[in-house]
Amino acid sequence: MAVKASDALERAGRVRVMIFDVDGVLTDGHLWYGPAGEALKAFSVLDGHGMKMLMKSGVEVALLSGRSSPAVSIRAAELGIRHALQGIEDKASAFAGLLARLGLTADQAGFMGDELVDLPVLRRSAFACAPGGAHALVLRHAHYIAAAAAGAGAAREVCEYVMQAQGTLDPALATWLA
């Protein structure tokens, strides 16, 4: 069961850009390495479809990761995510730069993170989200804690929650029921 702050729905209603950390949010947080030392990542199709639905509803989606990976670039391109910021040590500065490029404010931004390095962005975002397995300090600062696990639908859950708050979820789901 998801945990929500009393004002989470109102906060989600203001979101114009939803930003996701990668490792521990879009993946289960495990780091897999192939025989040549390449990092391998597994992404959920549930999360991917949720992000596509959210973008189609008019909300920008971005990725903000401390690590760099060709797999993330490929996944972002596959989903049509235009902003995949990787290898970012100072996430707060990257967050501010992204908002400036998009002409948005932190009051219009959502962020989903799981680890201590995500706190500077979580604390600045209007709608702070985390998967249930996130660090305890991250969970204390989240407005929404997903019931689904990281890498297994947590991001999809957040996407649908934002769409619900903005009145775009039911019309989007209706297209599949026609």
Write the pLDDT tens digit of every residue in 74-87: 999 999 999 999 99
Distance CA 119, CA 65 (A): 13
Write the pLDDT tens digit of every residue in 91-142: 999 999 999 999 999 999 999 999 999 999 999 999 999 999 999 999 999 9
Distance CA 105, CA 64 (A): 17
Give the ranges where the chain is alpha helix by DSSP (H).
8-13, 45-56, 70-79, 91-102, 119-122, 136-141, 154-166, 169-177
Task: Report the SS3 class of residue 15.
Answer: coil
Contact criterion met (CB below 8 Å) for 154 and 50: no
**Which residue range(s) make up the domain with 60?**
3-177
Residue 1 scores a pLDDT above 60: no
pTM value is 0.95
Bridge partner residues of 12 (DSSP): none
Output the domain CATH number for residue 88.
Answer: 3.40.50.1000
User: Tokens standing for 40?
Assistant: 């391998």
Task: Report the SS3 class of residue 76.
Answer: helix
Residue 17 scores a pLDDT above 90: yes
Number of structural domains, the chain?
A: 1
Contact criterion met (CB below 8 Å) for 121 and 113: yes
Write the pLDDT tens digit of every residue in 45-69: 999 999 999 999 999 999 999 999 9
